[in-house]
Each structure stands twice: as structure tokens, then as C-alpha cells.
Structure 1
Amino acid sequence: MVLRQKRLLLAVDGSERALQTVRYAGEEDAFKGMKIVLFHVFNSIPDAYYDLEKEPKSVKVVTHVRSWEAQQKKKIRKYMDDARQMLLDAGHAEAAVEVKIQNRKKGVARDIIIEAQKGYDAVLIRRRGATALKNIIVGSVTNKLLEKLSFIPLLIAGRKPINKKVLVAVDGSPCATKAVQFVADMLGPLGNYQVKLVHVVRGEASDLEAFRENGNTTFEPVFRAASNTLTAAGFNPQAISTKTLIGAISRAGAIVKAAEKEGWGTIVVGRRGLSRVGDFFMGRVSNKVIHAGRKDTVWIVT
């Protein structure tokens, strides 16, 4: 039986920040062997604008606009070729790297989501792109993807150096279980990654009491199931550790702090946890992790 090659949609916007994401994709062993599609949504001039050519006084202006658009297309083609070469230089096979430039149709985020529906296993992007304001942690396109891309994992590249240490937040929810499985599928066959499974209990008395009643201050059944999933995929049992953090003010803050303190390079969270609110577009913890760990690489698994 021939296994299907996994496919990664790497969305880039022509910025230097996006090139840093390409470098991340080249250096991260998890993506080796995957089909990587470098995808750019080009903001072309609306067709309606060219109706001005029918007006004699506007012909010169339209000519300048056409020239500008041609230059922008040339620049982005050069950018995409350079991005592709970066992946090739990092060891990816030529046949495994594809460049796709598409004129904007419904909006950048929506066009990425439509493309993502075509048989990809994950989408990789950066928090901010070319036009992001300095103090904005998450750019508008990434924010829209966080809200709407709910059918495959969204991987957000950070600025921290890559290492082979992955922290996975678990809470017994279906999304957390899928997060563990995603890590197992992506990293287990490589055999050289460490994983820490972390469960966080906030400090409110009701939560602590419920935790004691349900788990006797331990989370062992869930930890055991997650560890079994990882070892079945190829992880060395000695490379798997667990930790329960009790009494945290913020679950997201505790997760990010643990990753920072112990040098875990990637944080993996389920898109939604065991929330009492059913209609959130994504869990409060996963959303806060993205903002609190502003330099971290975060994988969000749905």
C-alpha cells in the first residue's frame, strides 16, 4: 500500500517575515517528505478599473497602472522563486515544492481557506505579514484564519530558534486528543523529538475541587492514553514526560511560561478545549496562547 504524501499549504505575502516562515519550513524536520505549496494571493487591479480605458482622458493613467501591476507581478514571481530555492537548499526535493500565485478572488484569508480545502494536511503562516502595525501581535489575515480555518491544523511560525522539543497541552477534550495524534503522525516516525504533555488546572476553588473529585489530583489516564499514542507512532518512551500544573491564574499563561522556562520550541494546543461555552470560534486557552506566546511557534489542531 502506497501512503499518500502529506501536503502543507505555506501562505506567503511577499514580506521578509514570510520568508522567515519559509526558512522555518526548511529547517523543521516535521515537513521533510511533505509536498509544500508556496501560495500567494496577488492583489491585482480590479477589472472594473480598466473600463477607464474607454475614456480618452484616462488612457494614460490606465497605462501607468498596467505597468505598475506588471512590475508587482514580476517582483512576486522573483520572491516566490527565491522562496522555493530556500526550501530546495534546505534539502527538499524539487518535485516536493510547488509555487502557486493566484489573483485575489474573495479576499486573502478566504482564498487561503478555499485553497486549504483541496487536500492539504495543514496550513503554515506567520502571525503578522507585510502591512502589520508594530504593536499588533496577530495580523488581520492570520486572525481571520484563526476564526474560520476550522477543518485542518493551523501552524503559526514563531521567532524562536527551532529545536526538537514539543510541549502539548492536554485537557481530555477531543481537540486535545487530536493534537496528540497530529504530533504523533508528524513527528513520531522521525524518532528524535521530545514531548512534554502538560495539563493545567486553574486556581479557583470549584475547579480544584472538581479536579480532585475526577482525577484524585492526577491526570494519569489521559496522560497514559496520550503517551501510548505517541509511542505507537515511534516516539521513544524515555522522550515523553508529563506535568500537571495546579493553581494557575491563567491556563494559557502557565502553558507559555512552562515552554519558556524549559525551552520547549513548539507549543501544540487543541483548537477548542472543555469550554462551557459551545459557540466560541476557538477555545479561550488556544487563542490566549497565540497572543501570550508572541515569539513561540504554535500548532493549533482542530
Structure 2
Amino acid sequence: MTIQKKSLVLVDGSERSIQTVNYIKDFMPVDENMRIVLFHVFDGRPEEFRELEQAPTCIDAVSQLQNQEAEQKAAIWWYLERAKKILTKGGVPQQSIEIKLHLRKDGVARDIIEEAKNDYSAVIMRRRGLGALRRIILGSVAVKLLQSIAFIPIIIVGQVPTNKKILLAVDASPSSRKAVEFIGSLLGGHGYEACIFHAIIGLGSMAFKFPEVNAPEFPEVGMPDNCIEAFKLKTARLLQATKDTLLLSGFDSGKISEKIITGAHSRSLEILKETEEGGYSTIVVGRRGLSKVEAFFMGRVGHKVVYGGDKFTVWVV
């Protein structure tokens, strides 16, 4: 599968956004098809102040606001040019980078969503603040983007120093297959190392637990060895199909590893544990899992990885 390598990079004028730009410089493969759009939504003056421009008593105040707006816009342009220079010094051709300073129209999140519909292959953004996504409030720009931009992958840049090691968390869902194809098309042939990872959930973790103090609980359910082996065989076929896709995309067979965890209480925790212990900087998950329940917002596993893996970069495909 060939994809258009056009990335919408969200920058807000902060030093944390510079980390996003550095991630692109250090991680993304550079070729002649690469295109990066550095995108900033500029608020400017609030609408209510614009309505006062014709009021004689507000001339001085409006003039001060106009001057302040011009200074802010100049500062943002300087910042965007700085981000562009970081990319060009990293080897990205100057003609492959576009700067867009967008005047806010319908709201920051809505304007970003509309821009993302213009033939982009991915949206790249930072985590908000030091507490990352698990501390953001419902309704924030980051949450709105995760909820609404389901038509292209979202890359959420974390704090861990970038390397070319990827943990590819897979299942048998169409979303997971799409993630594998996306990674292969974008990164194949550029020397990346990939671990194909799957956690088989333990039956005990599926028992219902009642919060009431005196309420009974279902007993722990054991999984017979032959049942575990059946799951492992099925998963091994899944991992082999994933590996074949990566090989066809140009990944080196010596840089592809596979790992199956059995009896997991939480797939997301196992993914994060493996990422930490294996020294991976980037996690790739499908947006939706196999069940209808997991289609809410995005897959439960992907959701927990995004929120819990605050220091890692997470690709939601």
C-alpha cells in the first residue's frame, strides 16, 4: 500500500512543540515524497473586541489591541520559521516544508479537524503539559482531535528520547491491519526495528467484580494448557502475517522480533511494560479493537495506552 507522506504538524509556540518538531527530524524518514505542514491556529483579538472597532470611545483601546495582535503574529511567524530551520538542518528539503498561520474561524479544534481533511496522511501533535494526556480534561483540544480525527492516523509525541525502535501492538482487527500497512508503507526500508507484540488476556481478568463490600465475587477461572496453546497458535499466525507485511514493505528480517504474552490481566499494561523494558520510544496501536465496546471513542486498549503511556510517542492508526 502506498500512502501520501503529507503530515499536518500542530505547533502552538511553546518549547514543547519544538519537541514535536525534533521528533520529526530525528525519527521520520526523509525522501522526495515527504511533505510537512507546520500549522498554527492564531486566535488574535476576541470577536467582541472586533465589534468595538467603530466605537469612537474605544479607538485607543482598539489601537493597542491591534498593535499587540501584530506583535503576537510576528512572534508566531518567527517561531514557525525556527521550527522550519530545525527540520531543514535535519535534512528535510526546504521545498518539502510549508508554514500555515491560520486565523481562527470556528474554534481551534474544529479548524484543525477541517484542515486535516485536506489529503493528509497523519496529524502529529504534542502531549499537553508535563502531565500528558491522562491529565487533560474532557473537551480540551487534544481530546476533541482524538475523538474526531478517525479518518487518518494521529501521532502523539512523548518525552522519551527518540530511537528507531517501534513496539507494534497487534490483534486481528481491521484497524490493526491498517496500522501495520501504514507503518510498512511509511517506514519500510529505512532501518527501523519493530517488535510485533500481542498479549493474550487471562480468563481471570474477565470475571465481574462487584464494588459492594458484602457482594460475592466470581471465582478465578483457570485456562487449560491446551486452550492456551490454541490461542498461541492462532496468535502466531497473526504475528507471521504481520511480519510478512513488514518484510514486503522493506523491513529487515533481522530487525523484526515477535512476542506473545499469555495470562495478561491488562493488554494495555503489558504493552506499556514491554515498551519500557525493551527500550522502545514509539508505540503503534489500532484505533479500534475487535469488539463493539472497543469502538467507543477508540479501542479500550489504544485509549489506555494513549493515556497511560504519557512519556512515549503513540501512533493511533
- TM-score normalised over the length of structure 1: 0.91
| Contact 2:3–2:186 under 8 Å retained in 1 | no
Aligned to 1:212: 227
Between the aligned partners of 2:164 and 2:27, the Cα distance in structure 1 is 9
Decide whether the 8 Å contact of 1:158 with 1:294 is kept in 2.
yes
Query: What is the Cα deviation at residue 217 of structure 1?
Result: 2.8
Contact 1:127 1:137 in 2 (8 A): no
Distance 1:179 1:4 in 2: 12
Residue 169 of structure 1: how far off its partner (Å): 0.6
Distance 2:13 2:241 in 1: 42
**Does the 8 Å CA contact 2:203/2:263 hold for their aligned counterparts?**
yes
In the TM superposition, what are the counterparts of 1:103-252 in structure 2 within 5 Å? 103-128=103-128, 132=129, 137=134, 139=136, 140-190=140-190, 192-205=191-204, 212=227, 215-218=230-233, 219-252=235-268
| Distance (whole Å) between structure 1 residues aligned to residue 150 and residue 109 of structure 2 | 13
Q: CA shift at 1:237, angstroms?
A: 1.6
* Structure 1 match to 2:291: 275
Q: CA deviation at 1:284?
A: 0.9
Contact 1:197 1:240 in 2 (8 A): yes
Unaligned segments of structure 1, at least 5 residues? none
- 1:256–1:289 Cα contact (<8 Å) kept: yes
Structure 2 runs not aligned, ≥5 long: 207-221
- Per-residue displacement from partner, 1:276-298 (whole Å, max 9, x unpaired)? 41650201111110111110011
| Conservation of the 8 A alpha-carbon contact between 2:41 and 2:111 | yes
Q: Secondary structure at the match of 1:124?
A: strand
SS of residue paired to 2:53: helix
More deviation, 146-155/193-202: 193-202
Q: Does residue 285 of structure 1 match 2:301?
A: yes
Distance in 2 between residues matched to 1:38 and 1:83, nearest whole Å: 8
Identity of aligned residues (%): 43
Counterparts of 1:33-72 in structure 2, within 5 Å, are 33=32, 34-72=34-72
Q: Which amino acid aligns with 1:25?
A: I
Q: Secondary structure at the match of 1:120?
A: coil
Name the aligned partner's letter for residue 92 of structure 1: V
* 1:94 is aligned to 2:110: no
User: What is the alpha-carbon root mean square deviation over aligned residues?
Assistant: 2.2
Letter in 1 for 2:126: R
For the residue of structure 2 that corresponds to 1:252, the secondary structure is helix
Counterpart position of 1:300 = 316
- The alignment's TM-score, normalised by the length of structure 2, stands at 0.87
1:255 corresponds, among 263, 271, 280, to 271
1:104-144 per-residue CA deviation (whole Å, 9 max, x = no partner) reads 1111111111111111100100111xxx4857646422111
Quick check: 1:26 aligned with 2:25?
A: yes
CA contact (8 A) 1:25 1:31 kept: no
SS of 2:91's partner is coil
Count matched residues.
Answer: 295
Any idea what the Cα deviations from partners look like across 1:2-31, whole Å, max 9, x if unmatched?
A: x88520110111111001111111111335
Larger-gyration structure (1/2): 2
Query: Following the alignment from structure 1 to structure 2, what is the Cα–Cα distance between the partners of residues 168 and 30?
Result: 18
